[in-house]
Chain A
Amino acid sequence: MLSLTQLPGTVAVITSDGRMIVGTLKGFDQTINLILDESHERVFSSSQGVEQVVLGLYIVRGDNVAVIGEIDEETDSALDLGNIRAEPLNSVAH
């Protein structure tokens, strides 16, 4: 498994079942298995604000990864998660 001492930092991972997990990318490999530290899931709902579920240290199997986004800390801290309303994402291949 390759590890990272610089580069990405905080990333947003969209999984194939439509979940969004935010965390610190600690490592990855050829098949995109990921090691995420300090991770939490952001649950979006059309009726209430974003709920963050703390997960801690996670290994995510590459099969389930759809997108990995580099989070811009500045923009992210400016987000008012309590006021964001959105439908949960669909899973891949519907």
Chain B
Amino acid sequence: SICGTLHSVDQYLNIKLTDISVTDPEKYPHMLSVKNCFIRGSVVRYVQLPADEVDTQLLQDAARKEALQQKQ
């Protein structure tokens, strides 16, 4: 898997990560010279977020606002 800092997300759930590292670089050296990447939403199976780094209240409010915007 790829570990990095979440830079941005879009409506397709495409993800931009900065400063990435691969969890097993010996087995998967393919991304050794890559620092920032774009991941197409359609290929993501799971996104693991450390639970204590997420403000769930803030997230819920933001998601609710987004949903309202989308509807309009």
Contact = CB atoms under 8 A, between A and B. Distances in A.
Contacts of A89: 28, 30
B27 interface: yes
Contacts of A69: 20, 31, 34, 36-38
Instruction: Determine the main DSSP class of B at the interface with A.
Output: mixed
B65 interface: no
Interface residues of B, number: 20
A70 B35 contact: yes
Chain A interface category by residue count: 20 to 34
B29 interface: yes
A71 B34 contact: yes
B31 A12 contact: yes
Given A62-B40, A67-B38, A67-B43, A20 B27 contact: no
Interface of A: 12, 14, 16, 20, 32, 42, 44, 62-63, 65-72, 75-76, 79, 84, 86-87, 89, 92-93
